Amino acid sequence: MLYRHRSLETPHGTVETPVLFPVSNIGKRSSDNTPEYTDSIPDLPTAMVNARAIRNREPQWNRLQGESTLRGEMDVSDETIIFADSGGFDFQQNEVDTTPEETLETQSQIEADIYGTVDVPLSRDNRQAENQRRISRSIDLALEASERHDGDALLFGSVHGYDPETVRNSIRHLERNGEFDGYALGSLVPIRTDYEKVTKIILAARRATEKHLHVYGLGGVTYQPLLLYLGVDSFDSSAFIRSAGNRNYLIPGFGGEPMKNIEELSHLPCACPICSTRRFDAVRDDRDLLVQHNLWALALELRRFRYMAAAGEDLEGYLDLRFQGNEVTNRAFQLAKQQVRRLT
């Protein structure tokens, strides 16, 4: 098993890993749909933001260049640890419209603790030559950021690839030619249903470096246990927001369930602060409450795994039970188990 428990030192404090970075939509039109949570969920003093979106929202950017702070705009604690990515997902279909210099300036202005380098995500619809161009471009942009970066914030090089060898070679190239505190693995969301492929790519990244490993976009309740088993140190997710928008109720160990399928209930099967004090219809009818519950579900999934590890329980046995109800994820876990055992 590659699971590991570490401490990550950042300008705004120490965070215990593995950890989830909930995505905040600050800077987007939907910026009001991320509730304040850092005071109510004490083991989530973290947030993921899009540096490009924040800079491009002119009124907000003007305030941030004045007396406002990003944490104040987000209505979160001043000790919140912020990971600011470059907004690379916006470049999946469009050309890059920012530079490492501009992105670093933005990340510094908003006082982010972790900087993600400018990157050009892959698409499963692209030809191999186009994706290879994007991989090389992301590496070049990461190395330029490494040359320009100074200060106490951590710099994570963003890495892409749809095969293990490309990912492994990319990280090793960045290690030889730049200075990075960790790496962030992207482009996995479009292929997330191909669990076996994703598993092999993550294992290649984990094998290539002992530094902090982040995975972009796969921190939902289904993927979390698999990421933890594979030794991923952090991950982000907007699943709690997107699921609430579709009126899906997240349940640790089961995934999401459309609330229209369970309307005969009077109370929900969760003891989080949202569900334990409210009736079913109150949560169903209030999108903000559902967002908060879904975030609690992600936090509880992480807490459960951490507890099993701290108690010295058989994590492989736990995951055998955890995945036995889903043939696809169970097959991916069995494959991961075989590969992990070869590495340990």
Q: Residue 252, preceding bond cis, omega within 30 degrees?
A: no
pLDDT above 60 for 30: no
CB 298 within 8 A of CB 253: no
Tokens 């229209």 correspond to what residue?
A: 260
Note whether 199 and 230 are within 8 A (CB): yes
Would you list the domain boundaries of the chain? 6-237, 249-343
Burial class for 175, CB neighbours closer than 10 Å (0-12, 13-18, 19+): middle
What are 160-183's pLDDT values in tens digits?
999 999 999 999 999 999 999 999
Q: Closest Cα to residue 155, out of 86, 247, 56, 61?
A: 86
- Report the distance separating Cα 103 and Cα 117, nearest Å: 8
From 13-17, 210-214, 252-256, 278-282, the region with the lowest mean pLDDT: 252-256
Torsion of CA 74, 78, 84, 89, to 10 degrees: -30
Q: Say what the pLDDT of residue 344 is.
A: 62
By CB atoms closer than 10 A (0-12, 13-18, 19+), residue 184 is buried
Assign 32 a pLDDT band (cuts: 50, 70, 90): low
CB 56 within 8 A of CB 27: yes
- Please give the residue that has the higher pLDDT: either 53 or 263: 53
Q: Where are the alpha helices (DSSP H) in 178-273?
A: 195-208, 224-229, 239-245
Cα dist from 172 to 183, 187, 204, 227, whole Å: 11, 18, 11, 21
Mean pLDDT of the chain: 90
Q: How far apart are CA 238 and CA 219, in angstroms?
A: 8
What integer pLDDT is reported at residue 260 of this predicted model? 86
Query: Per the structure block, which two tokens stand in for 215?
Result: 């995975």
For 208-220, what is the mean pLDDT? Answer: 95
Length of the chain: 344
User: What is the spatial distance between Cα 230 and Cα 223, in angstroms, rounded to a whole number?
Assistant: 11
What span, in angstroms and rounded, lies between the C-alpha atoms of 238 and 299? 13
With cut-offs at 50, 70 and 90, classify the pLDDT of residue 251.
confident
What tens digit of pLDDT does each residue of 288-342 get? 899 999 999 999 999 999 999 999 999 999 899 888 877 878 888 888 888 888 7
114 CB neighbour count, 10 Å cutoff: 27
CATH fold group of domain 6-237 = TIM Barrel (3.20.20)
- Higher-scoring residue by pLDDT: 212, 53: 212
pLDDT value of residue 156: 98
Give φ, ψ of 89 to 5 degrees: -60, -25
DSSP summary character for residue 185: E
Task: Give the DSSP letter string of 107-157.
Answer: HHHTT-SEEEPP-----TTS-HHHHHHHHHHHHHHHHHHHHH--SSSEEEE
| pLDDT tens by residue, 96-139 | 788 999 999 999 999 999 999 999 999 888 789 999 999 999 99
